[in-house]
Homo-oligomer: A and B are copies of this chain.
Amino acid sequence: MSNRIITLGEVMMRLSTPGHERFFQTRDYEVQYGGAEANVAVSLAFWGQSVAHICAFPDSDIGKAAIAYLRSTGIDTSFIQKNAGRMGLYFFEGGAMQRASKIIYDRAFSAFAQFDGEEVDWDRVFEGADWFHWTGITPAISEATAKLTLNALKAAKRHGVTVSGDINYRRNLWQYGKSPLDVMPELIHHTQVIVGGVTDLANCMDVHEEDYVTACQKAQADFPSITHIASTDRHSKSSSHNILSGMLWNGKQLLHSRSYDMPNIVDRVGGGDAFMAGLIFGLLNGSDHSALEFAVAASVLKHSIPGDVNFVSLEEVQDLVKGENVGKLLR
């Protein structure tokens, strides 16, 4: 039942203000590590999968600390490279009530940004792998990381590995002279499971449809490798109160999940990654419908945990899907 999953993407040091302090007033930053793809990796490892994450860190004590964190979660870190360049950082200020959360990225010139994967033995990476996961953040960082993504995708194809891609379009990346439409389509042609909303599909796949079903149909027509397209549907009443559901297009119909009311959010960063992880786990282990419900429940639980990462067990997600132990005091 344990699958082998490969993930690829930058891991940054996250420096968060404690409580709901603003950047202006804080005197301490809490250190964690996160990145969209590694967050997925950790979730999957917590659910008993065998996961290897590929990235690059500076060869410093800071880089060592980041590796130690990844290793602690049970991920295989043996393919991680040491590179010139700095540790990518991001500063996080947790919002509350009507006040938005803020992230200040400081990821330029990182070791990862200069990582093109030439020195990686991709065939060893994908030996025995069942799934590969990438996001649109990686090709958006630099020429090198766009090439890295393509290299990985080609190797995944050689090994017959199922591929998921979280499009994750971010406007303030893509600074190296290429536009998403220059780069993303080729990558998506190697991908079976896509996560993205209509904006992502428009920006990265040139699919301009307001209606999600129509957009999915068009996307599948243009990118025949695609089997599934999914997205969360988040309504932010405030930073402390969101309503979350998910939807999954499986080539035939658009499935909708239960909707969860979340009025006491602890930390919403990584909510999308938790959904992604849940979807991968679910599709590897069950029906489309159960995969979707699992993914949304996983995402909901993430909002209750400080940091980027969804430190929840398989049983905890399954319980929430079944509506068991919700808000209990388990002794």
Rounded to whole angstroms, the CA-CA distance of A170 and B236 in the bound complex is: 38
Q: How many residues of A contact B (CB 8 A)?
A: 79
Which residues of B sit under 8 angstroms from A86, Cβ to Cβ? 106, 108
User: What does the 1/0 interface line of A21-34 toward B look like (CB < 8 Å)?
Assistant: 11111111111000
**A172: nearest residue on chain B (CB-CB)?**
B331
Copies in the complex: 6
Tell yes or no: A73 within 8 A of B by CB.
yes
Q: In the bound complex, do residue B301 and residue A99 qualify as a contact, i.e. CB atoms below 8 Å apart? A: yes
Instruction: Say whether, besides A22-B305, A87-B106, A98 and B320 are in contact (CB < 8 Å).
Output: yes
Q: In the bound complex, do residue B15 and residue A329 qualify as a contact, i.e. CB atoms below 8 Å apart? A: no
Which residues of B sit under 8 angstroms from A304, Cβ to Cβ? 20, 95-99, 239
Instruction: Say whether, besides A304-B96, A304-B98, A331 and B25 are in contact (CB < 8 Å).
Output: no
Tell yes or no: A181 within 8 A of B by CB.
no
Say which one of A147-155, A188-196, A225-233, A260-268 lies at the interface with B. Answer: A260-268
Which residues of B sit under 8 angstroms from A240, Cβ to Cβ? 263-264, 327
Q: In the bound complex, do residue A300 and residue B87 qualify as a contact, i.e. CB atoms below 8 Å apart? A: no
A interface residue numbers (CB < 8 A to B): 15, 19-31, 60-62, 64-65, 68-69, 71-74, 86-87, 89, 91, 93, 95-106, 108-109, 170, 172, 236-242, 260, 262-266, 268-269, 300-301, 303-307, 311-312, 316, 320, 325-331
Q: In the bound complex, do residue A331 and residue B105 qualify as a contact, i.e. CB atoms below 8 Å apart? A: yes
**A297: nearest residue on chain B (CB-CB)?**
B98
Q: In the bound complex, do residue B97 and residue A300 qualify as a contact, i.e. CB atoms below 8 Å apart? A: yes
Q: In the bound complex, do residue A68 and residue B103 qualify as a contact, i.e. CB atoms below 8 Å apart? A: no
Minimum CB–CB distance for A278 against chain B, Å: 14
Which residues of B sit under 8 angstroms from A316, Cβ to Cβ? 99-100
Top 4 A-B residue pairs of the complex, sorted by shortest distance between their CB atoms: A72-B72, A240-B264, A23-B61, A238-B327
Cross-chain pairs A/B with CB under 8 angstroms, 19 sampled: A20-B266, A21-B306, A24-B61, A25-B306, A62-B91, A62-B104, A96-B304, A97-B262, A97-B264, A98-B300, A99-B316, A100-B316, A100-B325, A103-B331, A105-B331, A237-B327, A239-B327, A241-B263, A263-B264
